[in-house]
Structure 1
Amino acid sequence: MKILGPVETSKSIGKSYLQIKDLFVLAKKYGFKCIVLSESHPKSWLRFIYLCQKYKIKPIILYETNNKKFFIKNNEDIKQAIMHYNKLINNLNLKEIDLSLPYVRYPIDGLKKIFKDPESWCVKDVLKYQNELAFIGDEETYYNLKEYTFKEYRVREKNLIDYFKDIKMTDIEKKRLAYELSTVKKLRVENYILTVKEIIEAAAQKGILIGPGRGSAVGSFLVYKLGITKVNPLKYGLLFERFLNEYRHELPDIDIDVDAERRNELIKTLQGNMGFYNVVQIRTYSTMKVRSALKKSEELLGYSTDLQLLPPIRSKENLNKLSNYTNKEKIFYILAYYLEGLETAESTHAAGLVISDDDLRTFGPLEQRSIPILEWEMSDLKLVGVEKFDVLSLDTLSFLKKIEAKEEYENLEDTSNYAYLSMGLTKGIFQLDSRLGKRLSKKIKPKNFEELVLLLAINRPGPLESGMIDQYLEKDAPDYLKDIFPETKGVLVYQEQIMKLSQILGEFSPEESDLLRKAMSKKEKEKISKFKDKFINNATKKIGYAQANLLFSQLEKFSQYAFNKSHAVAYAHISYWLMDKKFKDPSHFFLELIKLKGLDVDIINEAKILGVDIKSPDIRYPHGNFDKTQIILPLYTVKGIGKNIADIFMNCKFQDVEDFFDFAILKNINRNIIELLIKCGSLDYLNDNRKQLLKSSTELLRGRSQELQEIGRILFGDKKKDDLESKIYTELEDYARYDIETIGLPIILTKQQGLSKTLIKKYLNNEKIVFDGYAFREFLIDNSAIMYTKIYNRTLKRIKKLL
């Protein structure tokens, strides 16, 4: 029996360049029947055992600690080693193995030479040392992933059905609930759903904002009545089968959006309720992508190539070209091939939590943190029956709380909100704050909530390129589709529409309709063909053979662009709440948006349209201020001034300039910060002549900065009074320069009287217009807006140039 080992995988980051997936391909190639994995951590163990079973190779695991190697014989030994790794036990009752051979850390000899590592082996090297490894091949092991148990968290307070006993419902609701309950019971997912409910209740316990819902779970009436989601699926015709049906072989996904600033607080609350080591995060790895692999190959080899590689590097198309490459190109490609996918750093899963009834230190390797991290990836955890709970940070929820937006689920039809959105005023609006979102909002011009849902669903390049949007605008769908889907004018937009059509026209069961949807979205031709005849035969009775055949082929193409309506409906609520706040209280909205994202041209222009002026920072309001018609910028919108500096000036009421300088010296605020505060206009209320203030600051701080000035002269020599002083600027020009230097935008120029308000038309309608304003650097400015010259098609009547 050929034995390969001792192997160290690339999950020992920085030590090994042998990815576990390559290990087994090469082991098969060279005829190895046993692999010895020897690492100081258990991070690779689950995947290693699984692949050994798949490739019919005998696995042997050695656990390294304190410069010793311990033999892992079975599941109990795995558990003992993990408890030792997690510092639950100090001593190991395991057999010590004396194996002092070099580690296998490279897939092929070429890589070992490139990395100049004579102390490690590649896979092929081990063939020469079979005698030295023979003794370990006689060791018996029994690792069984099916028997390596994970104890899921159990909800003990109530049974699922108990939550609905005293709730009044209509007959339709009772029927839907009974159907969903039977499916949930049949699939045995009650505990999963109730655990999600506990997470929601823990958030409510702390007043942590949770989103209205996310993904297909929004289609469940049961989940809605439990308070997990907040949107009634019956109101929008959402399908439960998109979320869960009896053909589904995995747990349902109920993803939770949470206020980004309080996600960790929620997790710590769960730890308090369920146990500190019972709620943990999940390990992920940053891996080398195509561009990084090519760059690293170039760096290691000292040359580049003109290979036209289609991502991924390991694709069949690239491999088929290998025989045509020159020798240097082959070396370059093979190196990049083995670097692609290599783990480069450890990360934490953005959303996933594992929740157990047991202390997880007895189950898997943990990185000790305030929220521990289970050091197995999710794909590995599924091998031992672990499912995750996704709790996602959503910045928008934090923003909603700051602007005091109202959660509303009934009154969503304010026509003024839709009128403004249809003008393209999408800045800060969830899911629409992009060029494409602005463009589609102006094109679709939503007039009600259903059309807002549609807008969110098609706000992707795919629908735009597929002709879906033009078909919607031109009302070009067949009449029978318009009758079935009046809300989308007969145009297919949502995944659920595939399901509804297959039920209405194809006479599919709800479960079959979801199988068809899934098969089409994954382009599984064999599965699709099984459904095709049934669909066409039944649909022919209603719309004729030609239409039925055409419709099925259209469904196949459309499935690539279709969007989950349940998800779009839930997220459209968030978009509407933001619209409502923005268009009714724009000053508050934009001030908080500036604090979150910074100032830009779109904010200035949209605020102006909504009757709000953006004013320079004011040191009396270090975190900004607003009223109905204006916003005072926070000090930290100034480049070089952070929130920590702004905080220094909280509750300061300076009587005059000297008062300010005395305070600045007392707080040891450096001269650069003082100059920025003056240039941005934050001291204008004390003295609105910024040039004079800058001069005064030099005189008042001369004594304090004399030493620094002397050092500067020694290092750089005397500064000649040329350039800046020899140029003559008007005060307006100076202030515009100061604005650019400190804030990045010449907002002072928009305050000048006597200029036309023409740029705003350009901003809204993208028209060629007559312009009467200022051209300053890369900007055009008048009373209405600021535009970048590069996106302006100029028909100029008059320009006041500031150069």
Structure 2
Amino acid sequence: MKILGPVVTSKSIGKSYLQLRDLFPIAKRYGFNCIVLSEPHPRSWVSFIAHAQKYRIKPIILYETVDGKYLLQTNNDIRSAIMHYNGLGNNLRLKKIEMDLPYVKYPTGVLKDIFKDEESLCIKDGLKYQNELSIFSNIATYYNIRNYRFDEYKVTDYNLTDIVSQKDLTFEEKRRLSYELEIIKKLGVKNYILTVKKVVDTAKKNGISVGPGRGSAVGSFLVYKLGITKVNPIEYDLLFERFLNEYRHELPDIDLDIDAEKRVDLIKALQKEVGEYKISQIRTYSTMKIKSALKKTEELLGYNLEAKINAPIRSKENIDKFKSLSKKDKTFFYVAYYLEGIEVAESVHAAGLIISQNDLRTFSPIEEKETPRRGFKEVPIIEWEMSDLKYLGVEKFDILALDTLTFLKKLQIEEKYRELSDSKTFHYLSKGLTKGIFQLDSKLGQKLTQRIKPKDFEELILLLAINRPGPLESGMIDQYVNEDSPEYLKKIFPETKGVLIYQEQIMKIAQILGGFSPQESDLLRKAVSKKEKDKITTFKTKFITNASKKIGEKEATLLFSQIENFAQYAFNKSHAVAYAHITYWLSEKKFKDPSHFFLEYVKIKGIDIDIINEASLLGVKIKLPDIRYPFGLASKTDLIMPLYIIKGIGKNISQIFEEAKLSSLEDFFNFIINKNINRNIVELIIKSGALDYFNNNRKNLLRETTQRMKGKVQQLEDIKSTLFGEREQKSTKKVETTLQDYAQYEIESIGFPLSLMSQKGLSNTLIDKYLNRQKVYLDGYVYRDFIVDNSAMIYSRVYNKNLKRLIKHI
């Protein structure tokens, strides 16, 4: 038996360059049939065992402590070591191994030599230590990661069947619920769904906003009736099979959107109900990507790669290219190959939570931290990645922090699921006024909105589904706008004019024309989206045979080809329906109360040209900050920006001035001197126009600030004047602030020359250019990168080609 060890993996960040994915294939190549892992943490253990099973190499794990190395032979040993690691016990009743050998830390000798590490080994070097490692020859290990698991959290206070007996259900709803319940029971996922309900109920109990739903779960009527999602799937013809399918053999996936400011509060509330150590976050790692790997290799070798390689480095395309590289480039590629993917920092899964029936510290390695806030504990983190937990059969619950829900709360928007048909909302949305609108706040979103011009909620759903580069390139949008689909498809899918846009449509058409069962139709959807050729061939024969009887063989063949082509661009309608509600709520609020909408948006995102112009078009004038309203102010026609919109000024400064309640310029100067506020901050406040209400001669104010803030230096000058008769020469000449000064100051302090938009006699035509990119004639200002009139502000470098008669130049 050839034994390799002791091995340290790259999960010991900064101490090894040996990734598990390289360890086993290289060890196999050199004939090793046993690997000894020796680390002071359990982070690698699950993946190590899984890889060992895959490559049929005997795994041996040593757990290192300050007292020595301990042998783990069984699942129970692993559990004992983990509890010790988590501080639940000091006595390890495990066999101690006496071994003093150099560690294997490199995949190859090339990498080891480049790092000039004489104390460590590469995999091949392990062949030299077979005598010393012979102590492991007769050691047997019995690791079974499939049997290493904790009990999932059990919900016992709710029975799913109670929901079917509700009196207000229609016959169709009862039938749908019974069908869904049957599948849920058959797949054994009842407890998973009820645990998600527990999370949602806890959020509601604590006043924490939960989104209307996301993903395929919105297609379940039962999930809707449980209050997990808020959109009735029957009303939108959403398919349960897209969510759960008895032939798919996959657990359901119910993701939750939570108010971003309250996610931690929700987890803390769950801990109180479930147990502090029964909930944890999940470890992830930041890894070295292609750019970092190439840069690091360049640093190590002292030269750059001449050949061009694409990401990822380990792609087949690059491997094929390797043979034709020069010797120098081969070395470079070789090093970068082994560096790509190396763990460089620990992180936490953005959404995933584990919820257990048992104390997680008895099952998995846990990291606990305390924040600087008086011993406030952060949520524990399982130090195994999601891939490790999947090996163990552990399911996570995804709770995502969604900023838009926080925005909705600040706007005091009331959720509604009826009467989503305000004509004003769709009128302005169709013009492309998508700034701050969920899922459409991008140049592509604006462009597609102007192209589709949604007239109702159904078209808004469609708009969200196609708001991706893929559909734009596929011709799907042209087909929709030009209504080019066959008549039989228009009859089946009138809401999309016969265009296949949603994944659910592929399923529905397979059922209507192809004679597929609902479950089979989902398997077809999955096969074509993942391009599984063998499965597609089987489905294709059945589809064309059955569909030919209804639309003819030529059309049936053409339609299946279309399904194959469009499947990669098709979108989950359930997800689009749920998110379209948020889009609509924000749009309606924006066009009914634009000043309030933009004030809250500016507080979160800051100011930009799109906000200035869209507000102008909606009859709201964006005004400069005002010291009297440090957090801004919104009226029907005006929006005063908050102080912290000024560069270099934070919310803490705004808070200080909020408490000041200034009523005069004298108050202001006394206050800043008393509070010892930095002179640079004071100058930025003046330049931004925040003191214009008291005195709009900003240039003179800047000079006066210099005089007033001299402090003790000024007192010494006064003493000198009294004692020696020396008088400081002071300028009494008053300076005026020109329009150019205003523009310059505002660009310096807030980024945009807003005062230029307030001058009399300018045209109001520039907004047409902003919206439609058409030629316009205007009377306005050109200053630096900006072209300005009373209606809008645009960047000259983008639009200058089509502008005529720019008569005012600063």
Q: TM-score, normalised by structure 2?
A: 0.96
1:122-133 equivalences under 5 Å are: 122-133=122-133
Query: Percent of aligned positions with the same letter in both sequences?
Result: 64
**Which of 754, 777, 781 pairs up with 1:774?**
781
Letter in 2 for 1:133: L
**1:21 counterpart = 2:21:** yes
**1:640 counterpart = 2:648:** yes
1:207-246 equivalences under 5 Å are: 207-246=207-246
Residue of structure 1 equivalent to 2:457: 449
Distance 1:109 1:518 in 2: 44
Deviation by residue 1:157-184 (Cα, 9 ceiling, x = unmatched) = 1221124433411111111111001000
How has the CA–CA distance of structure 1 residues 679 and 4 changed in structure 2, closer, same or farther, with 3 Å as cutoff?
same
Residue of structure 1 equivalent to 2:542: 534
3-state SS of 1:451 partner: helix
**1:397 counterpart = 2:405:** yes
Distance 1:149 1:21 in 2: 24
Residue of structure 2 equivalent to 1:433: 441
Residue of structure 2 equivalent to 1:576: 584
Deviation by residue 1:266-289 (Cα, 9 ceiling, x = unmatched) = 001000100001010001111111
1:397-796 equivalences under 5 Å are: 397-704=405-712, 731-792=738-799, 793-796=801-804
Distance 1:459 1:34 in 2: 52
Number of matched pairs: 786
Distance 2:808 2:792 in 1: 15
Distance 2:714 2:78 in 1: 68
Residue of structure 1 equivalent to 2:723: none
For structure 1, list consecutive stretches of 5 or more residues without a partner in the other structure.
Answer: 710-727
Contact 2:366 2:382 in 1 (8 A): yes
Deviation by residue 1:732-787 (Cα, 9 ceiling, x = unmatched) = 11111110000000111111110001110001111011121000100000000000
Contact 2:149 2:394 in 1 (8 A): no
Contact 2:626 2:640 in 1 (8 A): yes
Distance 2:266 2:806 in 1: 58
1:76-115 equivalences under 5 Å are: 76-115=76-115
Residue of structure 2 equivalent to 1:121: 121
3-state SS of 1:483 partner: helix
Post-superposition offset of 1:651: 3.5
Distance 2:716 2:406 in 1: 44
Contact 1:218 1:224 in 2 (8 A): yes
Letter in 1 for 2:694: L
3-state SS of 2:580 partner: helix
With 156-165 and 13-22 compared, the bigger mean Cα shift is at 156-165
3-state SS of 1:349 partner: strand
How has the CA–CA distance of structure 1 residues 66 and 404 changed in structure 2, closer, same or farther, with 3 Å as cutoff?
same
Letter in 1 for 2:453: K
Distance 1:185 1:332 in 2: 55
Letter in 1 for 2:770: Y
Residue of structure 2 equivalent to 1:11: 11
Residue of structure 1 equivalent to 2:74: 74
Letter in 2 for 1:787: I
3-state SS of 1:251 partner: coil
Contact 1:196 1:228 in 2 (8 A): yes
Letter in 2 for 1:25: P
Deviation by residue 1:566-619 (Cα, 9 ceiling, x = unmatched) = 000000000000001000000110000000100000000000010000111111
Post-superposition offset of 1:706: 6.9
Distance 1:162 1:704 in 2: 79
3-state SS of 1:431 partner: coil
Distance 2:231 2:798 in 1: 41
Distance 1:401 1:146 in 2: 44
Deviation by residue 1:681-703 (Cα, 9 ceiling, x = unmatched) = 11111211111111111111112
Residue of structure 1 equivalent to 2:347: 347
How has the CA–CA distance of structure 1 residues 131 and 705 changed in structure 2, closer, same or farther, with 3 Å as cutoff?
farther
Letter in 1 for 2:325: Y
3-state SS of 2:119 partner: coil
Distance 2:716 2:498 in 1: 73
Residue of structure 1 equivalent to 2:179: 179
Residue of structure 2 equivalent to 1:718: none
Distance 2:609 2:543 in 1: 52
Contact 1:772 1:796 in 2 (8 A): no
Distance 1:764 1:578 in 2: 20
Deviation by residue 1:63-115 (Cα, 9 ceiling, x = unmatched) = 01115111111111100100011001112111111111111110001111111
Distance 1:149 1:755 in 2: 72
Residue of structure 2 equivalent to 1:315: 315
Contact 1:150 1:384 in 2 (8 A): no
Letter in 2 for 1:564: N
Q: TM-score, normalised by structure 1?
A: 0.96
Residue of structure 2 equivalent to 1:722: none
3-state SS of 1:702 partner: coil
Post-superposition offset of 1:705: 6.4
For structure 2, list consecutive stretches of 5 or more residues without a partner in the other structure.
Answer: 370-377, 718-734
Letter in 2 for 1:263: R
Distance 2:661 2:31 in 1: 81
3-state SS of 2:346 partner: strand
Contact 1:108 1:123 in 2 (8 A): yes
With 649-658 and 352-361 compared, the bigger mean Cα shift is at 649-658
Contact 1:84 1:92 in 2 (8 A): yes
Letter in 1 for 2:66: N
3-state SS of 2:805 partner: strand
Letter in 1 for 2:176: R
Residue of structure 2 equivalent to 1:713: none
With 651-660 and 293-302 compared, the bigger mean Cα shift is at 651-660
How has the CA–CA distance of structure 1 residues 684 and 795 changed in structure 2, closer, same or farther, with 3 Å as cutoff?
closer
How has the CA–CA distance of structure 1 residues 387 and 612 changed in structure 2, closer, same or farther, with 3 Å as cutoff?
same
Contact 1:150 1:385 in 2 (8 A): no
Post-superposition offset of 1:49: 0.7
Contact 1:620 1:651 in 2 (8 A): no
How large is the Cα RMSD of the aligned pairs? 1.6
3-state SS of 1:649 partner: helix
Post-superposition offset of 1:141: 1.1
Distance 1:288 1:654 in 2: 53
Distance 1:738 1:323 in 2: 60
